[in-house]
């Protein structure tokens, strides 16, 4: 096994232990603490960490843990939670994604940076940007800048989302909806929900997975905007972990598994989620977060504020998930 991978794994385990020890001090819970346990050393000791491991090894662990964490959250979801929500809520998510992409495209001056920032904000952060980049390989620089913006805004969301929840007095379910629809990174969207309670984590997961499942339509819209820049065929895919998540939800609701086993799964997943957040934090180096530039960051922030405004207006006017 690769030495750097083993070291990355050790860092993850140590990070989880430190998260458990310090979670009562941070008041962020095991998962939220795990992210900052990874982020702070990555920002302060980037060169020293790179001597022992690298982002490729950390990314391997993230890609292994992430589908497991998402799937196991499925065992916590009840059908009644989904069916009790009005159908127009799901249509709003589609409309919000489209408006976010178009708004980003327009305020950027109809350029590639706006398209990358728009789809990254509207769907699932870096993964969506990479998917669009597969169609426009000559725009690697714009994609890299957009990823830097998305990384910064995703980290900021861990602070901004709880503040907005308090200001607008959102219910736990509404808080999860805000996190799931308003945070760019998949992992950090669910983590933001977990900071706000069990119901918030569930709704953050449901709404975020809905956005990920809609990546292909979002790509079609973005590619149409960038039709003059398209140079490759690229691929339209739905991640396999979404299907695993659906299977987990079905199994949990068929009541085939004993309650004691579901509790064990929930507890184990909390530890795995903390480990995932440690390695996510360790990957966010100063370089990955400072490549954006003032103009790109301003564009990204404006798009995110627009998106959050749409979501909060919908929650307060529609009065859903109260």
Measured in whole angstroms, how far is the alpha carbon of residue 6 from the centre of its chain? 26
Is residue 16 domain-resident? no
Task: Quick: pLDDT tens for 80-89.
Answer: 777 777 888 8
Counting Cβ atoms within 10 Å, is residue 105 exposed (0-12), middle (13-18) or buried (19+)? buried
Total domain count for the chain? 1
Long-range contacts of 104-109 (CB under 8 A, 24+ apart): 104/299, 104/303, 105/225, 107/299, 107/302, 107/303, 108/299
pLDDT at 176: 95
Is residue 84 domain-resident? yes
pTM: 0.82
Task: Quick: pLDDT tens for 249-258.
Answer: 899 888 888 9
Is residue 262 domain-resident? yes
pLDDT bucket at 292, cuts 50 / 70 / 90: low
Is residue 231 domain-resident? yes
The CB density around residue 273, as the number of other CB atoms within 10 Å, is 29
Task: Quick: pLDDT tens for 59-73.
Answer: 899 889 988 988 898
Phi, psi torsion values for 273, nearest 5 degrees: -65, -40
CA-CA distance, 216 to 22, in Å (whole number)?
Answer: 41
Is residue 195 domain-resident? yes
Is residue 71 domain-resident? no
CA-CA distance, 34 to 280, in Å (whole number)?
Answer: 9
* Segment 177-189 mean pLDDT: 91
Q: Are 182 and 157 in contact (CB under 8 A)?
A: yes
Q: Are 30 and 248 in contact (CB under 8 A)?
A: no
Strands of the chain (E only): list them. Answer: none
Is residue 26 domain-resident? no
Res. 270: pLDDT tops 80: yes
Instruction: Give the SS3 label for residue 214.
Output: coil
CA-CA distance, 112 to 158, in Å (whole number)?
Answer: 28
Measured in whole angstroms, how far is the alpha carbon of residue 156 from the centre of its chain? 12
Domain encompassing residue 257: 78-268+286-318
Is residue 224 domain-resident? yes
């Amino acid at each position: 096994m690769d030495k750097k991978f083993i070291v990355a794994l050790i860092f993850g385990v140590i990070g989880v232990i430190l998260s458990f020890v310090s979670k009562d001090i941070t008041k962020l819970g095991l998962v939220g603490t795990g992210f900052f346990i990874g982020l702070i050393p990555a920002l302060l000791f980037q060169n020293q960490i790179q001597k022992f491991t690298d982002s490729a090894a950390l990314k391997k662990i993230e890609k292994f843990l992430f589908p497991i964490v998402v799937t196991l959250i499925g065992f916590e979801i009840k059908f009644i939670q989904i069916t009790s929500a009005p159908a127009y809520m799901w249509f709003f998510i589609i409309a919000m994604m489209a408006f976010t992409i178009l708004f980003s495209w327009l305020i950027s001056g109809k350029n590639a940076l706006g398209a990358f920032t728009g789809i990254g904000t509207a769907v699932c952060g870096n993964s969506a940007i990479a998917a669009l980049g597969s169609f426009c390989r000559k725009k690697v620089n714009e994609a890299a800048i957009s990823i830097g913006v998305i990384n910064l805004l995703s980290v900021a969301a861990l602070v901004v989302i709880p503040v907005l929840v308090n200001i607008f007095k959102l219910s736990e379910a509404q808080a999860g909806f805000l996190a799931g629809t308003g945070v760019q990174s998949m992992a950090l969207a669910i983590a933001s929900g977990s900071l706000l309670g069990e119901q918030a984590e569930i709704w953050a997961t449901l709404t975020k997975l809905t956005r990920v499942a809609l990546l292909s339509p979002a790509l079609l819209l973005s590619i149409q905007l960038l039709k003059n820049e398209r140079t490759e065929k690229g691929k339209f895919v739905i991640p396999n972990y979404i299907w695993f998540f659906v299977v987990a939800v079905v199994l949990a609701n068929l009541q085939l598994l004993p309650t004691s086993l579901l509790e064990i799964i929930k507890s184990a997943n909390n530890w795995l989620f903390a480990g995932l957040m440690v390695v996510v934090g360790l990957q966010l180096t100063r370089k990955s977060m400072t490549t954006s530039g003032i103009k790109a960051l301003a564009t990204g922030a404006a798009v995110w504020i627009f998106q959050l405004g749409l979501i909060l207006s919908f929650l307060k006017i529609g009065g859903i998930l109260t």
